[in-house]
Structure 1
Amino acid sequence: MPLTADVKAELTAVRDPRPSARVAELTALLRFSGGLHSIANRVAVEAELDSEVLATRVARELMELYGVRPGLVQVQASGAPGGARYAVRVIEGGETLARQTGLLDQRRRPVRGLPNRLTTGSRPDLAAVWRGAFLAAGSLSDPGRSAALEISCPSSEAAMALVGAGHRLGVAAKAREVRGIPRVVVRDGEAIRAALAAMGAVQAAAAWDRMRQRREVRAGVNRLVNFDDANLRRSAQAAVAACARVERALEILGDEVPDHLREAGRLRLEHRDASLDELGHHADPPLTKDAVAGRIRRLLAMADKKAELDGIPGTESAVPVD
């Protein structure tokens, strides 16, 4: 997804100098990109990422914040259409790192959601949590009816924790399960823009909002055009039907048509696309549209009555089926 790649590229370049924000972003990134593994009966921390630049940055942050030296390898995720991915692994000292980042609790149990200190932190820390989660497992679709910002989550508890952090940031997010995978979803256009801006993707937020506004304007124009086309079609169909019935009425009545009704029928046939008001202006002397409509109605009624008495098809039979 080009949009997703643009957002992640911008977020990867965001540098919040506050230690608490750096820890929050890194912890969320580890939690949403893999988290804990057991390798050779030892606890290992691993993050599988779709960008070498991001993987290199994560490795550097681990060294600077926790003093560990992670391994960085290229992997091919099974069934992944995006090509190569990159794994950042910490095996030596993995359990200590897991405790420090809150991925393990004090009883060595994996934390199902997110550490409480992150989801109740300051606004910059909450923004860093969302930034790390999106970098790890986020996606953004094009503006439109199915537009969405989504983050795949490792557990329903993690999804709920991210939703709570989002609400504290003013982002209207919801947790849902899609094909068995917990996700956090933002669908409202304004909420998506707010989420991007809160995470630090200011340029992507502005670009996405411009795209959304263009789509909305284009959709509005299309609706108006379609509405006008429908009205024109209905008007054309009504004019064809009216003229066909008038022609049949004059044919049925022949010389029995009163002059004033014949004149109304003649006006209808000579000015097929004209409105009733315009037909009245063509009459001599001029007539109101109600007078013209009344005369045409009487012409048709008189013809239908004679057709019924004569046992022949009435005026409706002349209207084209389509």
Structure 2
Amino acid sequence: MENKKGLIFHIIHGSFVDGYGIRTTVFLKGCPLRCLWCCNPEGQKGDPELKYTPAECDSCGRCIPVCPTKAIQLDSVPGKEKPEIDRKLCTDCGKCIEVCYREALAYFGSYIGVDELFDLVKKDEQFYRSSGGGVTIGGGEPTFQPLFTLGLIRKCRENYIHTAVDTCGYTLTSEGFNVLKETDLLLFDLKHMDPVVHRKITGVSNEPILKNLERLNDMGKAIIIRIPLIPGYTDAPQNIKSTAEFLSGLKSVERVDLLAYHQYGSVKYGQLGRVYQLHVQSYTQEQLDDIKDIFEKYGLNVQLGG
């Protein structure tokens, strides 16, 4: 396979989550879902996006005259003399980034070839070998860039490096399904069992997701299920029970990870010129333990976090 280029927005080295052992996690841009609680909003769009961090800006004004669409204006409010960006006018052309020496303006997303990316993740090979770890590909959604993801998976396999793919499971193409089929381990997100509710909270139906999961289970793929627990959205007692019952019939599921709601990614919405709209109360430990107990009653191997 040629040295296919892909669009990534982050790499984490030395991760103890996202699979077994010590891992390097690569985050790809582009996702078909629009989950209300998404903690990586910069991974949704499949193109580079302008990131603006006002706290890093010294109001030099160099970005204003170079903007071809006049999307950047200086806020004239006393004490707030910072540039403001009209996202409706901004085309993410990057002209402002070129003149911003403070890096208050930057891109979410950069292109890289499979070979170059593999060279980066291979540097941690000794940690993979000593811990039973490997490379995890997340996002965004890895099946959104199937050829690039497959290229990295195959490059890792040629070098005996374990791979995992963190997926929403929503892919309608054979290339996307091949990504799920060829990785060593699947970290498979399961949001909601009701198709109507699922569409309401993610923007898509869950029918392709459940079908793909059942196909992969029948193929004997190693699967860790990841369930986001979002108060008032995914934690209804009936949904918890329906999810547990469904998973209890899948023999390839090695573990179920319950991921409690947090707001760690909310600052990134502001950097994208968006407003984070989901503000709900976090769980108590007792509430999380109660949900965990329900899954365990169905004979599932469950952990909080993962």
**Taking CA–CA contacts closer than 8 Å with sequence separation of 6 or more, which of the two structures ends up with the larger relative contact order?**
2
Larger radius of gyration: 1
Same fold (TM over 0.5): no
Q: TM-score, normalised by structure 1?
A: 0.22
Query: Which protein has the bigger helix share?
Result: 1
Query: Which protein has the bigger strand share?
Result: 2
